[in-house]
Amino acid sequence: MKARIQITLKHGVLDPQGKAIENALASLGFRGIDEVRQGKYIEVDLTETDEGRAREQVEKICKDLLANTVIENYAYELVSA
Amino acid sequence: MKAAVIVFPGSNCDRDVKVAIEKVTGGKVAMVWHADTSVPAGDLIVLPGGFAYGDYLRTGAMAAHSPIMRDVVAKAKAGTPVLGICNGFQVLCEAGVLPGVLMRNASVKFVCRDVLLRVEQTDTPFTSAFRQGEIARVPIAHGDGNYFADAATLDALEAEGRVVFRYVDAQGEPSPGANPNGSQRNIAGICDARRRVLGLMPHPERLFEPMLGGSDGRKVFESVVTSLVH
């Protein structure tokens, strides 16, 4: 089973890198872009085959290391590998 | 005085801070590898600057889970003074010992220069040798020093007098222009509720004697000695 994990900055948290990307796009001539927010995408291959237990494990992985919940949210989906 | 400096893979100010402690305090410094599980008993633990684990994932995130950190957190809880400088501050935040987080600088640039700090609190083991409101010149060198916490946390830190250092201008004011990295409320350093753990982005060990171009950082280490005597 594979976990596809997305980590994004919470609303209201300044995103200097997203802002830099936004400015770069503007300087390249792309129009119609309101805002850019950047985050992380992480894939984790699990040996666990039970979906419930896999969810429990991924939750713990996200909370313990992958996301800093002071500034970040996480979301994930489980797909069969 | 006996101090321990924790060395992570990627620490690069560990030997500087060892020299600063030895020269200023005359104390003995043990270098403790991150994979060890216990810190020798002593009067001070330092988490030095650098780029532990290459800053992968987030600055300080991996280091906060190093085997040695369990004992650092336990000893901090038991009252041993802990000083986190730059990357060490980031590690303390990631370990949950200090609130908030150090984000990418608002400028998205690495900033390496001297800054002026106002000493907001002198009742910690690291600031007792300063005068209240004293301005100190100390260097910074970081890409992720942008202190962030939610408004409630910031208000609590202010109310409890836990903002220890603030970035200020030549007039001693925490103006936006004096803020090198976008930190909320110009915060450069904070302490824990018991006032025994200090995290700061600037590097006091880099200006501790005139030969280095200044000695304002020296008082941080002098303070530790003074507070041990009292």
The string of pLDDT tens digits covering residues B52-68 is 999 999 999 999 999 99
Residue positions counted in chain B = 230
Q: Which residues contact B216 (CB under 8 A, 6 or more apart)?
A: B136, B137, B138, B204, B207
Q: Which residues contact B188 (CB under 8 A, 6 or more apart)?
A: B115, B117, B147, B165, B166, B167, B200, B201, B202
Could you tell me the end-to-end alpha-carbon distance of chain B, in angstroms, rounded to an integer?
Answer: 13
Q: Do A16 and B100 touch (CB under 8 A)?
A: no
CATH of domain A2-79: 3.30.1280.10
Q: Where are the domains positioned within chain A? A: 2-79
Residue of A nearest to B100 (CA): A70
Candidates B91, B108, B111, B142, partner chain A, best to mutate (most A CBs within 10 A) = B108
Active site residue B209: no
Active site residue B203: yes
DSSP H or E segment with residue B190: strand B187-191
Residue B118 in tokens: 């106002």
Q: At which residue do the structure tokens 């596809």 appear?
A: A4
Q: Which of B212, B206, B162, B209 is nearest to B50 (CA)?
A: B206
Please identify every stretch of chain B with a pLDDT value under 70, giving residue numbers as ranges.
229-230
Give the predicted TM-score (pTM) of the model.
Answer: 0.95
pLDDT digits (tens, 9 = 90+) for A11-60: 989 899 999 999 999 999 999 999 999 999 999 999 999 999 999 999 99
| Catalytic residue, candidates B94, B120, B142, B205 | B205
pLDDT given at position A12? 87
Nearest to A65 among B65, B100, B106 (CB): B65
pLDDT given at position B228? 80
CATH homologous superfamily, domain B2-229: Class I glutamine amidotransferase (GATase) domain (3.40.50.880)
Residues 49-78 of A with CB under 8 A from B: 64-66, 68, 70-71
- B123-to-A55, B103, B162 alpha-carbon distances in Å: 46, 28, 10
CB-based burial of residue B96 (10 Å sphere; 0-12 exposed, 13-18 middle, 19+ buried)? Answer: exposed
pLDDT given at position B71? 98
Residue B58 in tokens: 């987030």
Q: At which residue do the structure tokens 């002098």 appear?
A: B222
pLDDT given at position B229? 66
Chain A nearest-CA distance from B32, in A, is: 23
Can you state the percent helix, strand and coil of chain B, rounding each to 5? 30, 25, 40
Q: Where are the domains positioned within chain B? A: 2-229
Residue B212 in tokens: 């280095």
Give dist(CA B196, CA B151) in Å, integer: 23
Q: Do B103 and A65 touch (CB under 8 A)?
A: no
Residue of B nearest to A64 (CA): B65
Active site residue B191: no
Chain B nearest-CA distance from A25, in A, is: 16
The DSSP 8-state label assigned to residue B7 in this structure reads E
